[in-house]
A and B are shown apart, each in its own frame.
Chain A
Amino acid sequence: MDFDDTREEAAFRAEVRQWLGAHAEPKRGAFETWQSRYPGREGWDGLERAQAFQRSKAEAGFAALHWPAEWGGRALPPIYQVIYSQEESRFLVPRGYFEIGLGMCMPTLFAYASEDQKRRYAPAALRGDEVWCQLFSEPGAGSDLAGLRTRAVRDGEDWVINGQKIWTSGAHWADWAILVARSDPKTAKHKGLSFFFLSMKSPGIETRRIKQISGASHFNEVYFTDARIPDGQRLGAVGAGWGVAITTLMNERLTSGDLRGPDFEEIFGLARATQLEDGPAIANAAVRERLADLYVKTQGVRLTRFRTMTALSRGETPGPENSIGKLVNAPKAQEIASFAMDLLDMGGVIMDKDVAPLRAAFQDSLLSTPGGRIAAGTDEILRNIIAERVLGLPQDVRVDRDLPFDQLPS
């Protein structure tokens, strides 16, 4: 056992470090993000700078390490992506612009699109010239995605789309999108779906920002009113859209479970710096017990990731243990925020950045962490996934599986 890179990995890490040192800026604070440095008009300033960074990243060959060389990748094993991400996390780099396009949309195109289409779209996505989004969730179809209702009706050589999508990250700046819609409501719900890609500039598409409880807007609603998609932009057979959507979701990057906000280090620092009624918080037995619990979880997730990396480094398939990261980290982040505020007592409510510790990072986190427990698989869905895929337990009884979709109660 050791934590060392192999010789090849170490050489790659050095190459990444050197490139990032020359092309990326260091973070000014632990929680600084690309969007907080370059807010601009609804993130547009940030987007343009992000595209410039992405272009140089693609030219240096770091933008899609595991892609085949013909699409601009290096065909490297996944461990190299982990190493790149580790090094990149020390720098202020764009987040949230290209991950969906490169991590989910392009792999789906690689599996289902024509050669001409791959040549047309993959290089532009890789260089950041075109940004993609994913139109899956709906107001009535979240965890149960196959219950979606957006209609796709065939009309000559086109499909006509009507309905509403929600929780679409980046829809307001995306050029292209992948979409799953219901092409046949008379058949069972998983069998009546078809999968497309379309230009977000098409007529009949309206994007509205969603304001979250934190006041920030990371997501959109997207409305379709007679939007048209050429049949040539259908991916997979008519009615086989669920299988294509599964391909997309399988390519969803291993949710790293990385916290963007305060973690153990910050709550530990706060406990050492804060006085309670009976002395320093760090000396209080109840506080110490909770700190120990949080440390064990934090280390547990971090070390579990090392186990996953080890499997990748050995060229093996990682074990199922990598599925626990987000399920542990998301509720933990919420607990850290709330626990920190408790330590500050009545003053814990203060969100004034000049008064609250860490410029109100804990208070910000209280309002952003509920989303972490819902996005990319709720805590409950993640437990189902562990139960079914890791422990091999049966699926819940599904009363809607074989009924025609239009006869389901709603």
Chain B
Amino acid sequence: MNFDFSADQKSLREQARKFLGEHASSTRVRRILEGAAPYDVDLWKGMGEMGWMGTAIPETHGGAGFGYLELCVIAEELGRSLAPTPFASTIYLAAEALQIAGTAAQKKRWLPRIAQGEAIGCLALSEGPRVTTPATLATRADGARLTGAKVPVMDGDVADFAIVLAAREDRRADLYLVDLGGPGVTRKSLATVDPTRSHARIALDGAAAEPLGAAGQGWPLVERLLDRAAVLVAFEQIGGAQAALDMAREYALGRFAFGRQIASFQAIKHKLADMYVGIELARSNAYYGAWALSKDAPELGVAAAAARVAASEAYYQAAKENIQVHGGMGFTWEFDCHLHYRRAKLTGLMLGSARRWKDLLVTRLEAGAA
């Protein structure tokens, strides 16, 4: 039995924690929360110098060729620090889409630039405040031209290219690669619940696009892509949840009421114990997802859905109850509790809600039991 990260992977985690402690401090995160910049450019550059963008990109495409377990370790630390960068969009979504569906030319064009931290990518799926499925898809592909509106697109305002889901005339969904610098693309920043991550509305008006992946395979590719990203985002969520639990613990130990530390009241102790249990259940499910992702195992579908559900719920629970433990102070702009509360909700929805993933999980369990 060897169901844990290796010593090398753990030392990578320490290295990442140290780097982010310095370069993605609360002060730095708040600059993005309160300022006009969509992301922390200096931090992004630093991460590039650390070689993180190329972690799971093969050496033939300019990456470090480590693997997904290493990427999971980094993701957990990014989630803990709330690092305000387009890492998830670029690495878990855009680079993965290229890796699983791109032609040799597409990979050659984008992956080395991604690995160097010189290109930002994003996934443009959602079409407004409602579930987007192939049946509801309004963005149309006319040959190699796309028309429609994608909203919200995480990092869509700063990305160099987008992976776009659009329907052809026969209503089959396909993925397309769109250079966002080209004509027919209009981008507008969009306010969301988590201003530490930037979002856009992308309007496409006959924008030039090239197909990504086999014709008619758009939706299965999206599902595969979301499974892979679900594991990686789960590690971000666990990192964030652990940070929220740590904050709640620190505050409860230092705050006195009724003549004693509030951490000595069972109402608080049991709340923190429940946060811990939720996080450990999520962590174990996420480890299984990491294993399946690293081995490209057939278990990935079930493992990713379980990791997604467990981590989304654990993070939201930890972030929400962290505010409660802080009392009135937790409700102020000044305290960092709301940063995790915002990020928990954002990460819980960015790949689709837990409600939808639960349904998907049971569908996959049924298929496995059939």
Contact = CB atoms under 8 A, between A and B. Distances in A.
Contacts of A289: 355, 358-359
Contact of B359 (A1, A272, A285, A384): A285
Nearest to B290: A1
Contacts of A314: 2, 4
A296 B359 contact: no
Interface string A243-284: 000000000000000000000000010001000000000100
A288 B358 contact: yes
Contacts of A295: 306, 361-362, 365
B281 to A, nearest CB: 3
A301 B281 contact: yes
Interface string B1-21: 111110000000000000000
Contacts of A307: 3-4, 284, 287
Contacts of A268: 365, 369
A295 B301 CA distance: 14
A118 B282 CA distance: 45
Nearest to B310: A296
A328 B277 contact: yes
A391 B359 contact: no
A395 B285 CA distance: 31
B284 A388 contact: no
Contacts of A313: 1-2
Interface stretch (A2-10, A96-104, A142-150, A163-171): A2-10
A394 B261 contact: yes
Residue of B1, B274, B359 with highest tally of chain A CB at under 10 A: B1
Nearest to B281: A300
A79 B2 CA distance: 12
- Chain B contact residues, majority secondary structure: helix
B365 A303 contact: no
Interface stretch (B164-172, B216-224, B265-273): B265-273
A1 B264 contact: no
A383 B1 contact: no
B110 interface: no
B216 to A, nearest CB: 27
Contacts of A392: 249
For chain A, the bracket of interface size reads 35 or more
A327 interface: yes
B3 A391 contact: no
B306 A311 contact: no
B281 A296 contact: yes
Nearest to A271: B362
B280 A321 contact: yes
Contacts of B359: 285, 288-289, 292
A272 B285 CA distance: 24
Contacts of B305: 292
A283 to B, nearest CB: 10
B280 to A, nearest CB: 5
Given A1-B291, A391-B249, A397-B260, A272 B369 contact: yes
Nearest to A82: B1
A178 to B, nearest CB: 30
Interface residues of B, number: 48
Interface string A64-80: 00000000000000010
Interface in B235-278: 245, 249, 252-253, 260-261, 263-266, 268-270, 272-274, 276-277
A296 B5 contact: no
A199 interface: no
Q: Which of B272, B277, B361 has the most CB of A within 10 A?
A: B277
A391 B273 contact: yes
Interface string A366-393: 0000000000000010111011101111
A116 interface: no
A310 B4 contact: yes
Contacts of A396: 264-266, 269
A386 B284 contact: no
Given A304-B281, A383-B270, A3 B369 contact: no
Nearest to B283: A321
A306 interface: yes
Given A296-B309, A299-B306, A1 B277 contact: no
B294 interface: yes
A55 interface: no
A306 B286 CA distance: 13
A226 B239 CA distance: 59
B1 A384 contact: no
Given A306-B1, A394-B264, A387 B273 contact: yes
Given A296-B306, A390-B276, A4 B2 contact: yes
Contacts of B357: 292
Interface string B356-370: 011101100110010
A309 interface: yes
A328 to B, nearest CB: 6
A291 interface: yes
B272 A387 contact: yes
Most chain B C-beta atoms within 10 Å of own C-beta, residue among A3, A299, A380 = A299
A157 interface: no
A83 to B, nearest CB: 9
Contacts of B69: 1
A297 interface: yes
Contacts of A360: none
Nearest to A394: B264
B266 A1 contact: no
Which residue of B265, B274, B359, B365 has the most chain A CB atoms within 10 A of its CB atom?
B365
A293 interface: yes
B284 A304 contact: yes
Contact of A303 (B263, B284, B361): B284
Taking each of B273, B365, B369, which has the highest tally of chain A beta carbons within 10 Å of its own beta carbon?
A: B273
B87 interface: no
A377 B306 CA distance: 29
Interface of A: 1-5, 9, 79, 268, 272, 282, 285, 288-289, 291-293, 295-297, 299-304, 306-307, 309-311, 313-314, 321, 324, 327-328, 380, 382-384, 386-388, 390-397
Nearest 7 pairs of A and B residues by beta carbon: A300-B281, A292-B358, A387-B269, A303-B284, A383-B273, A386-B273, A306-B3
29 contacts: A1-B290, A2-B2, A3-B3, A5-B1, A282-B366, A291-B365, A292-B305, A292-B357, A295-B306, A296-B306, A296-B310, A299-B288, A300-B282, A300-B310, A302-B284, A303-B3, A304-B284, A306-B284, A307-B3, A310-B1, A310-B3, A314-B4, A321-B280, A324-B280, A380-B266, A390-B276, A391-B269, A392-B249, A393-B252
Given A289-B359, A324-B281, 10 more contacts: A4-B1, A4-B2, A282-B362, A285-B359, A300-B280, A384-B269, A387-B273, A393-B249, A394-B263, A396-B269
